Amino acid sequence: MKRLSRTLQETIRSLPLRPGVYLFKDDEGRPLYIGKALLLRKRVMDHFRKFGENFSKESAMLEHVRKIDIIETPTEAEALLLEASLVKEYLPRYNQDLKDDKSYPFLKVTAEEYPRLIVTRGRKADGGKYFGPYTSLLLLRQAVRMLRREFPLRTCKTLPKRVCLMFHIGQCGGPCEGHQRRQAYLETVKELEHFLLGRRDVMVRTLSRRMKDYIQKRDYEKAQIVYQEIKALSSISTRPRPFDSDRVLADFKEAMALPTLPARIECFDISNISGKEAVGSLVVFIDGRPARSQYRRFRIRTVRGIDDYKMMQEVVRRRYTRALEEKQVLPDLVVIDGGKGHLSAARTVLVALGLAGLPVIAIAKQHEYLFKPDRETPYIFSQSSPFLEMVRRLRDEAHRFAITYHRKLHKKEALVSLLDAVPGVGPKTRDKLLRRVGPVSKIKTLSEAELVEKGGMSARTARNIKEALFGP
């Protein structure tokens, strides 16, 4: 019986248990087969489970597989959309299903005054815009539900005179009653089409600005929702081609004149709202992919008020002081989220620690230019550049990690302040409740009797807490 090469076995074992698209490639790097999966590792293992035991068409295909690439997505439905676009682009030899699109479903943006997004079979010369085809009608309908949340468009066949439920749940702008003007509606349609075509950089920048506005207003719940939208868009669209990490890293080394291949990259970000509960984050990419077990987060200790530069210096100093003391592996490249000022601040710390030879760059927020120390002009790359996309993914992951920690601390601070104001709740009762129960969302679920039992308090105090959380 034939056996898989050790390289392929190791690749398969390292695949994540997450949704996404996988690409089986031959020895020249050409896709032989492209598929989608709810759990990438499990699905790919299923392909190779009986490798070499029969003479099927699939077995013949697997004999030619020399490399497996993956692209992770937030959901299987979104993997479906990506799978279809990649199959149409590469036309792999063993993907017969999507080559003949006559019997498969499409997404269609109708040619109406206020267009709709619908699922249909086959193409017609009716002025509508068609996207697809897709293999799974069930998953396609799931994808449509997701798209309607991201891009609120009307679903009614005939424009009514009054708004319906879709307006009230935020999945339609309400053009029927004039709540949304046609120009604004058509801009949403255009964003949807950009999404389906893979041209989403403008839309991601718009959402990023919206997320920052929510953060400035301390509306962290809405900021998290928008962040998830950005993450979903980025996961599908910003890497429409398979991610060949070796080639990307080699090109990045050459473009940025780095001394070595940046196999291990560490990226820093600061989350700071009005100087309160400021935090820093460190994320690590190895061979172009996240190494989440090595992420670290930092609560700012020494800086008071708003000073991002000093906060960045504190985080970088703490990270590499410990790395030197414990003789940890140092990165091939350090990436700083920020402009020339943040870069200079981080560089000063590295020099002071004796790490002047450690390469460090920064990615500016506004134009996504890359900066290096001792160079006045930035590196400016195309928005579709694979290595710029890699740096963007690093930056976005560091930002996500920092924001998540910041929100956690802010919620804890708000809960402590709320409990401190409740009559009968002293420091011991408060700390016991937080330790035994957890955040406010869990405390809200407890009855007064459960609060008495778990918090070691009187019935009156438990009643005061419930009234503080829900009102009398």
pLDDT digits (tens, 9 = 90+) for 268-308: 988 865 445 688 899 999 988 888 889 988 888 888 777 88
**277 and 379 inside one domain:** yes
State the CATH number of the domain containing residue 42: 3.40.1440.10
Which residue, of 62, 90, 118, is where some domain finishes? 90
pTM of the entire predicted model = 0.43
Distance CA 51, CA 45 (A): 10
CA angle 17, 20, 22 (to 5 degrees): 100
Which residue, of 90, 118, 151, is where some domain finishes? 90
Task: Assess if residue 190 is contained within a domain.
Answer: yes
Distance CA 86, CA 241 (A): 7
What H or E segment, with its residue span, contains residue 341? helix 340-352
Task: Assess if residue 449 is contained within a domain.
Answer: yes
**126 and 203 inside one domain:** no
Q: What integer pLDDT is reported at residue 141 of this predicted model?
A: 81
**193 and 212 inside one domain:** no
Range name among 39-43, 348-352, 399-403 with the lowest pLDDT average: 399-403
Q: What is the mean pLDDT of residues 435-447?
A: 70
Q: What is the pLDDT of residues 65-115, one digit of tens each?
A: 999 988 877 777 778 877 877 777 677 888 765 445 555 688 889 989 899
Q: What is the mean pLDDT of residues 55-59?
A: 71
Distance CA 196, CA 123 (A): 17
Q: At what angle do helices 137-150 and 220-237 cross, to 10 degrees?
A: 130
Q: What integer pLDDT is reported at residue 22 of this predicted model?
A: 92
Q: What integer pLDDT is reported at residue 235 of this predicted model?
A: 47
Task: Assess if residue 416 is contained within a domain.
Answer: no
Mean pLDDT of the chain, nearest integer: 79
pLDDT band at 330 (very low <50, low <70, confident <90, very high): very high
Q: What is the mean pLDDT of residues 141-150?
A: 78
Percent pLDDT > 70 in the chain is 78
What H or E segment, with its residue span, contains residue 271? strand 264-273
Cβ count near 6 (within 10 Å) = 8
Write the single-letter amino acid at 352: A
- The total number of structural domains that make up the chain: 5
**181 and 209 inside one domain:** no
Task: Assess if residue 352 is contained within a domain.
Answer: yes
For the record, the structure tokens of 149 come out as 């949340």
Task: Assess if residue 69 is contained within a domain.
Answer: yes
pLDDT at 421 exceeding the cut of 60: no
Task: Give the distance from CA 406 to its chain's centroid.
Answer: 17
pLDDT band at 52 (very low <50, low <70, confident <90, very high): low
CA angle 215, 220, 221 (to 5 degrees): 140
Cα dist from 90 to 134, 270, 356, whole Å: 15, 40, 45
**391 and 373 inside one domain:** yes
Q: Greater confidence, 8 or 359?
A: 359
pLDDT at 336 exceeding the cut of 90: yes
Q: What integer pLDDT is reported at residue 242 of this predicted model?
A: 45
**386 and 326 inside one domain:** yes
**341 and 400 inside one domain:** yes
Q: Greater confidence, 306 or 374?
A: 374
Q: Of 398, 339, 397, 346, which is closest to residue 369 (Cα–Cα)?
A: 339
Percent pLDDT > 90 in the chain is 18
**288 and 426 inside one domain:** no
Task: Assess if residue 398 is contained within a domain.
Answer: yes
Task: State the residue for tokens 């030879």.
Answer: 357
State the CATH number of the domain containing residue 337: 3.30.420.340
Q: What integer pLDDT is reported at residue 221 of this predicted model?
A: 74
Q: What is the pLDDT of residues 108-135, one digit of tens each?
A: 899 898 999 988 877 777 888 887 777 6
**62 and 130 inside one domain:** no
**220 and 285 inside one domain:** no
Task: State the residue for tokens 């950089």.
Answer: 201
**110 and 61 inside one domain:** no
pLDDT at 168 exceeding the cut of 60: yes
- Per the structure, the complete domain to which residue 284 belongs is given by 258-408
Task: Assess if residue 248 is contained within a domain.
Answer: no
Distance CA 443, CA 205 (A): 37
Range name among 257-261, 287-291, 322-326 with the lowest pLDDT average: 287-291
Q: Greater confidence, 402 or 172?
A: 172
Task: Assess if residue 46 is contained within a domain.
Answer: yes
Q: What is the pLDDT of residues 379-394, one digit of tens each?
A: 887 666 778 888 988 9
The residues facing 72 across adjacent strands are 20
State the CATH number of the domain containing residue 431: 1.10.150.20
What H or E segment, with its residue span, contains residue 119? strand 117-121
Q: What is the pLDDT of residues 182-210, one digit of tens each?
A: 888 888 888 788 777 655 555 566 667 77
pLDDT band at 409 (very low <50, low <70, confident <90, very high): low
Q: What integer pLDDT is reported at residue 418 of this predicted model?
A: 56
Cβ count near 273 (within 10 Å) = 16
**164 and 303 inside one domain:** no
